[in-house]
Every structure is written in structure tokens, then in C-alpha cells.
Structure 1
Amino acid sequence: MERLFSYGTLQLESVQLETFGRKLVGEKDALIGYILSEVKITDETVIKVSGMNIHPILKYTGISSDVVEGAVFELSDLELVQADEYEVDEYARVEGEFTSGKAAWIYACAKDKTNING
């Protein structure tokens, strides 16, 4: 199983059902070294599924006191691919560091070259 952190629309039941065909059960966690910003979505399918054209997006700061609250979900390999397909080009999947000490994938700003911790 893969672990995926959600801080935005993937926490919405409607998005989970449309993307994965099931409601996900997650555990609360907090991502270290990021802040939330916003991105305008132009993909009509994503807008239809989420009901919004403005989505949250992670920006890397590297500052340990910057934390983003969210939930970590366990996904199959196929579901992780489905999550990749849901996320638009503005997002890149990278590994994040969490207050729990556990590892998980995150979707962060693809334009931010400092996304990768280190």
C-alpha cells in the first residue's frame, strides 16, 4: 500500500468516490516545511469533480515551523495512479516529512524547484 497525504480536494467524499470508487479512511497528520497557497484549475473534468476552479497547493519553505494539517490515506498502486491522473500539471508528486515521523507522498507545486526536501 502507498501512503498519500491530502490537504485539499482529495479529502472530499465526492472526489474520492469519483476518483477511487470508494470513500477513503485516513489518519490526521501534519506536513513539515510547507505552506498552503492557491492555484487556478482550468481542467474542466477536475473542476466538475471537485466543484471548484481554485484549489489549494503546497509551496515548499523548508521552515520546520511551517506545517500543513491534513490526512494520510492508504492507497493501492492503482489508486495512486488514479490520484496522479486527477491532479493537474501544476502539481508534482514528491515525498513529504510529517510530524508523525511516517513517510507519505504529497502533491506540491510543480513550478517550485525546491519541492524535493533537500
Structure 2
Amino acid sequence: MTTTTEPSEFLFSYGTLQLEPVQIATFGRRLSGRLDRLPGYITGLLEITDAQVLATSGKTHHPMLVSTGRPQDGVDGTVFAVTPAELAHADAYEVADYRRDRVRLASGTLAWAYLDARQPASGPDI
């Protein structure tokens, strides 16, 4: 089995994964990314009770993507190129209320994003 150290995945962040201290704690490095937008979503707030996530982010509530299906809605964020191992680290950081799913950003980029786990998975039109 081969592992890659080159970024080969895109991760869209609209919340705490954009914060440098969270990136250092989660990925061991500061990520560089570019601004993008996720159409058809808004954000709500999720109360965080996981002690480690609270300590890392310093925030009691994190934003949560909620699908509206309305193209006029959208959430601004940053898309980062990450390695598969870093994506696994992001999975470990996020609490069970989030589900990682593929989304299509306004730029056309297919990226992973953390959505409300209570909503059904839809995936982008590819």
C-alpha cells in the first residue's frame, strides 16, 4: 500500500479549520488555500461538548452546513489542498455531528466538506 505526502484532496472549510491554531494541532502545519463559496447551503450553529475540540478551537459553538437547495444561498470559506492522511486527521478532529461529503464549489472544484450528519447525503452532480 502506497501513501502519498503530496496534497491530492480538496477540503472546503467554513469554520474552525480555517484557524491557524486548529490547523497546527490537526495537521501539524499551517495550510494555504483560496477563497471559494458553497452554493445551496447556509450555516447554523452546533454546540460543541467534546473537551479536546473545545480546547483546540477555543469555541463552544461551531458553524454547521445546512442544505437549503436554493442556489441563491451560499457559504463562503476556504478550499485547501490536503493529503489523504491530513483528511483523516480532519475526520478525527470533527465531532460525530458532522459528516464528510463531496460538494461542488462555486469555482467548480469538487471538495470534501463537513455537513450536518442528520441530513441525508446527497453528493454533487458530477
Give the share of equivalent positions with the same residue, in percent. 47
Flag structure 1 segments of 5+ consecutive residues without an equivalent: none
Tell me, in whole angstroms, the C-alpha distance in 2 between the residues paired with 1:100 and 1:67: 13
Flag structure 2 segments of 5+ consecutive residues without an equivalent: 1-7
Q: Secondary structure at the match of 2:88?
A: helix
Q: How far 1:117 moved relative to its partner?
A: 4.0
* Bigger radius of gyration: 2
Q: How is 1:1-118 mapped onto 2 (pairs within 5 angstroms)?
A: 1-113=8-120, 115-117=121-123
RMSD (Å) for aligned C-alpha atoms: 1.0
Q: Secondary structure at the match of 1:22?
A: coil
Deviation beyond 6 Å, 4+ runs, structure 1: none
Query: Which string of whole-angstrom CA distances, capped at 9 and with x for unpartnered residues, describes residues 57-94 of structure 1?
Result: 00011111111000000110000000000000000000
Query: Which string of whole-angstrom CA distances, capped at 9 and with x for unpartnered residues, describes residues 37-64 of structure 1?
Result: 0000110000000001100000011111
Equivalent position amino acid for 2:9 in 1:
E
Tell me, in whole angstroms, the C-alpha distance in 2 between the residues paired with 1:61 and 1:87: 22
Equivalent position amino acid for 2:12 in 1:
F
